[in-house]
Structure 1
Amino acid sequence: MNLPADHIRLLFGLKLRQLRIDRGLSVSELAQQSGLSISYVTEIEKGRKYPKADKISALANAMQVDYDTLVSLKLSKKLEPISDLIRSKFLTEIPLELFGIDPSDLLELLAEAPAKVSAMIRTFMDIALSYNMSVERLYLTMLRSYQELHDNYFPDIEADADRFLNEFSPSTGAASPQPVPEALLNNLLKTRYNIRIDYFDPLTHPELVSLRSFFRPESQTLHLNAGLTAEQRSFILAREVGFQFMNLKNRPYTYSWVEVDSFEQVLNNYKASYFASAILIRRDVLVARLSELFNRDTWSNEDFLQLITDFESTPERFFYRLSNVLPSHFGVDQLFFYRFNHTPGQTAFQLTKEMHLSRQQGPRSIVNEHFCRRWIAWTILQELQFLQQNKGFDGTLCRAQFSEYADSGQQYLLISVAHAFQPHFQQNMSVSMCFAVNDTLKQKMKFLAPPHDVRALTNIPFRIVNQTCERCGIFDCRERVASPSVLQKKRQFEATKKAMEALR
């Protein structure tokens, strides 16, 4: 692998420093014995300088090692994790500046405390291996962190979407959603970007059933799954327009299962998807409609569901667009979003997507534990299963709930929508957005404003909840599916500490 010059400098500096320490030499002693200045040796060890051949020879002689041993890029066992990191795609492909990290600062940190950083990196790698974390999953986790850092609102992409709408689909009024017509998207792809659109039948190509689309750059062809709904099809076409309109060259070619080679592809896929949502759900119209909905005296599940229908959107895309505008235009930034999949007849629920803008307590993905079944995100799936099996229901449900954590007392307003997802897989899906009940939320949502008490609202049920069964102390819970093993261990540990204190 050809490494960048700064990485080679760092590897050389780390190796020199470790050899010096192994031989019990200080920086000044090595400088004196090699005939170099202390400051120059320090710059080498920090990866800022790479010495010329004569100076490398002087350093090798001072530490009694061969020239070739010193210039070899192979590090000692202690530094292998750092070597693996430097040789991996992480430092070359992850745009660290997106997270406010100067790459030179990271390299300096590696040089300053290589043993400690090496141990930390090895720990992270072991955790990733233990939970079978793929590179793709790591990229998606980093993307989610990037979204959360920016409250999932990106003015530059919003500006691109506005520029597109002004040019191709100007609004005729703030009261009407008027999504960009599918015909317009089709026409733009064909005439402006010379992209051919073709359809494949998942029934005759069952190996492609999980794909909604894939793009073949060599023939400039966008292949669409013929079984897509109108909403799904419009989004994929808008996403492809986003790639072209924003000139995002390094991109994945598949959707919704995304095969990627780099973090840049994941990031560009997100940018194109954000753009698609922004042109299909206009920001100004959404803000106006939400303001009207929030200004009502009572909450209506049916009106919220109608709002999604008016925008001709899927529930998931609508919730995600909410996560863009609520923090930026309403100041409601203590929220989180998640999606669960459920196969009717089974007891397991799979958390398949999550994003947390709230820094407070909230349900998160926890390995080998069972989520509290009192949250509306699960009960709505159980209700949907019952209606499908007993009433022939094939529509969409919307439910709201106030949830209060049994331990902390933190209250949340949760809005959840459930519907059939991928009928050929016989799965249902719920998407939910959860808002921390605080002063900001009460100011924005009239039905929460004082003197309203969330426990007393008749049209929104109130429930005491927890995070997982394993951590929950509500012992008379009818929904419990596992013993409170984590809580019991915690209490046992606290009892042991008290007993030890008593012995003193």
Structure 2
Amino acid sequence: MTIEEEYIRLIFGLKLKQIRTEKNLSLFGLSKLTGLSKSYLNEIEKGKKYPKTDKIILLSEHLNVPYDQLVSSKLDKNLAPIGDILQSKILKEIPLDLFGIQERDLIDIIANAPAKVNAFISTIIEISQQYNLNRESFFLASLRSYQEAHNNFFEDLENHVLSFAEAYQIDLNSKISAKELETILIEEYGYTINEEELSKHTELETLRSVLVPKTKTLLIANYIDEAQRAFIYAKEIAYNYLNYAERLYTFSWIKFENFEQVLNNFYASYFAGALIIPRKMLVEKLSNFFNQPILLQKDFEEIIRTFNASPETLYQRITNILPKDFQMKNLFFLRFTHKEGSDKYQLKKELHITHQQEPRANEMNEHYCRKWVAIKTMQNFKKVTNTHYFEAQISKYHNSNNEYLVFSSTTHDPFKENYLRSISIGILITPSLHQKIKFVSHPEITTEVVGVTCESCGLTDCQVRKSPPLQLIRKKNNETIENIVNQLVNKF
């Protein structure tokens, strides 16, 4: 059955239900009126069946609705947004099944309260247009929700890595080299590695690799370092070992054709991270690190040196491990970029596990709190000569009083000249965290009272504020106006 036929069935069902409810008829009542069974009418309204012509005529006569109006694919303004969504096939792209939702269930929910739900849908569409929420952004938001729903840990992928390592005799107790992975790609999967071609095309300078699937030629940028090369090879191995046909051929991605590509890209990246940074070894390293009475930068840098991975890959891998192996389930991950010499800091990636933590992306060009350690590490990076700069602090959000232990690393952005990149993980501080991380209470860790953005922050003694608290000022002005209006009402 074609999508067009399914769409016609769904539209007819929605219209029939709307007309029935407008006439204050139950399914039982419509069944008694028309002589059609209640179950048959229910299947029509849910879009499972489309009535034959004689049944449509019967419904038309008893509901006092023109036949042409019933069979038309046009919807009135109350149902129009639903029609737009169904016709756009967006419900086919949303990974509803990942969240245990059936498309028909969602349509049924919409149909039960069309006016309210359509107002909500219209609002979402308008917001997406105002904030330039494109198709890829929608897919990535869906993926992020999927990760968060699973606490960003996927047991089957962890097991696939163990099986792969056993089959190919990879020693997960030692640092894995890019050369070892390259050999597997060439000998097992028939790849050809080309390190020269990409450098000939200045327009492709932001790409680290391109796969030509027909000849299995992997064009790889000649400027990338050993850790980046190992990750690219491990990701290519994942695509082949896990048999993902729907995949991306460039790294980083240019566009996604469908959600399956988004999901497989994530799975391949997860596999690569789990292969390069094996779970067992990372758990041992983090356990030793957390058991130290004092937090030292050299101890964290030693963990990074253990693996053939960039700081960002390590941080992302830690977000897999903390919820599962350390029961630290309230945490966030942030990635900022910053052009040297500017005063702008952009939050490019975020992940929140268990619930939405306070530091989240803002699309209104407001100023992120300059007391965040993610931003401070980028500011302090300029003062050191290291290629990697690490800091930690306890961030206390004044609106909620929630406290987070935040680790943050800054490096030069390997793919943008004159840009810095900071990666942060924040862990909600609870009584149990003091037992799991010994240095949380050490006085050498700075505690900062922070906000989210300057425009929404009520801290009055902030020395690094970049903007007045415009949101709060606007709210206070509105309250003042409301109070005066109330006084006038009471007076007259």
- The TM-score normalised by the length of structure 1 is 0.90
1:409 aligns with 2:401: yes
Say if 1:418 and 1:431, in contact at 8 Å, map to a contact too: yes
Q: Determine the C-alpha separation between the residues in 2 that align with 1:213 and 1:89.
A: 32
- How many residue pairs match? The answer is 488
With 197-206 and 321-330 compared, the bigger mean Cα shift is at 197-206
AA aligned to 2:355 is R
In the other structure, the counterpart of 2:156 is: 156
Describe the shift of the 1:424–1:274 C-alpha distance in structure 2 as closer, same or farther (beyond 3 A). Answer: closer
Aligned partner of 2:468 among 463, 478, 483: 483
State the 1:349 CA deviation.
0.5
AA aligned to 2:124 is F
Say if 1:335 and 1:435, in contact at 8 Å, map to a contact too: yes
State the 1:310 CA deviation.
1.7
Pairing of 1:43-82 with structure 2 (within 5 A):
43-63=43-63, 67=67, 69-82=69-82
Say if 2:403 and 2:428, in contact at 8 Å, map to a contact too: yes
Q: Determine the C-alpha separation between the residues in 2 that align with 1:482 and 1:314.
A: 34
1:241 aligns with 2:237: yes
State the 1:478 CA deviation.
1.8
State the 1:239 CA deviation.
0.5
AA aligned to 2:430 is N
In the other structure, the counterpart of 1:108 is: 108
Pairing of 1:1-400 with structure 2 (within 5 A):
2-3=2-3, 6-20=6-20, 31=31, 34-63=34-63, 67=67, 69-171=69-171, 173=173, 178-200=174-196, 203-359=199-355, 361-368=357-364, 369-387=366-384, 393=385, 395-400=387-392
Counterpart secondary structure, 1:78: coil
State the 1:242 CA deviation.
0.5
Question: 1:387-419: per-residue Cα shift (whole Å, max 9, x none)?
Answer: 4xxxxx351101111111223322111111001
Say if 1:414 and 1:435, in contact at 8 Å, map to a contact too: yes
Q: Determine the C-alpha separation between the residues in 2 that align with 1:160 and 1:37.
A: 51
Question: 1:310-343: per-residue Cα shift (whole Å, max 9, x none)?
Answer: 2121111000000001110000111100000000
State the 1:22 CA deviation.
6.5
With 151-160 and 359-368 compared, the bigger mean Cα shift is at 359-368
1:440 aligns with 2:425: no
Say if 1:340 and 1:353, in contact at 8 Å, map to a contact too: yes
State the 1:93 CA deviation.
2.8
Q: Determine the C-alpha separation between the residues in 2 that align with 1:217 and 1:203.
A: 20
- The TM-score normalised by the length of structure 2 is 0.92
Say if 1:334 and 1:358, in contact at 8 Å, map to a contact too: yes
Describe the shift of the 1:212–1:55 C-alpha distance in structure 2 as closer, same or farther (beyond 3 A). Answer: same
With 395-404 and 116-125 compared, the bigger mean Cα shift is at 116-125
Q: Determine the C-alpha separation between the residues in 1 that align with 2:24 and 2:399.
A: 54
Q: Determine the C-alpha separation between the residues in 2 that align with 1:54 and 1:33.
A: 15
Say if 1:212 and 1:225, in contact at 8 Å, map to a contact too: yes
AA aligned to 1:372 is C
Say if 1:308 and 1:315, in contact at 8 Å, map to a contact too: yes
Counterpart secondary structure, 2:200: coil
In the other structure, the counterpart of 1:390 is: none
Say if 2:197 and 2:219, in contact at 8 Å, map to a contact too: no
AA aligned to 1:280 is I
Counterpart secondary structure, 1:47: coil
Say if 2:177 and 2:308, in contact at 8 Å, map to a contact too: no
AA aligned to 1:377 is A
Question: 1:344-389: per-residue Cα shift (whole Å, max 9, x none)?
Answer: 10000011110011526421011221111011111111112344xx
Percent of residue pairs identical? 40
Q: Determine the C-alpha separation between the residues in 2 that align with 1:35 and 1:481.
A: 71
Describe the shift of the 1:433–1:469 C-alpha distance in structure 2 as closer, same or farther (beyond 3 A). Answer: same
Describe the shift of the 1:218–1:302 C-alpha distance in structure 2 as closer, same or farther (beyond 3 A). Answer: same
* Structure 2: tracts of 5 or more residues without a match: none
State the 1:116 CA deviation.
2.5
* Structure 1: tracts of 5 or more residues without a match: 388-392
Q: Determine the C-alpha separation between the residues in 2 that align with 1:29 and 1:296.
A: 72
Say if 1:47 and 1:111, in contact at 8 Å, map to a contact too: no
Say if 1:202 and 1:227, in contact at 8 Å, map to a contact too: no
State the 1:112 CA deviation.
2.1
Question: 1:114-156: per-residue Cα shift (whole Å, max 9, x none)?
Answer: 3322222111111111111100000001101111111100101
Counterpart secondary structure, 1:425: coil
In the other structure, the counterpart of 1:472 is: 457
Describe the shift of the 1:360–1:117 C-alpha distance in structure 2 as closer, same or farther (beyond 3 A). Answer: closer
AA aligned to 1:463 is E
AA aligned to 1:168 is Y
1:422 aligns with 2:419: no
CA-based RMSD: 2.5
Describe the shift of the 1:165–1:172 C-alpha distance in structure 2 as closer, same or farther (beyond 3 A). Answer: closer
Q: Determine the C-alpha separation between the residues in 2 that align with 1:301 and 1:498.
A: 54
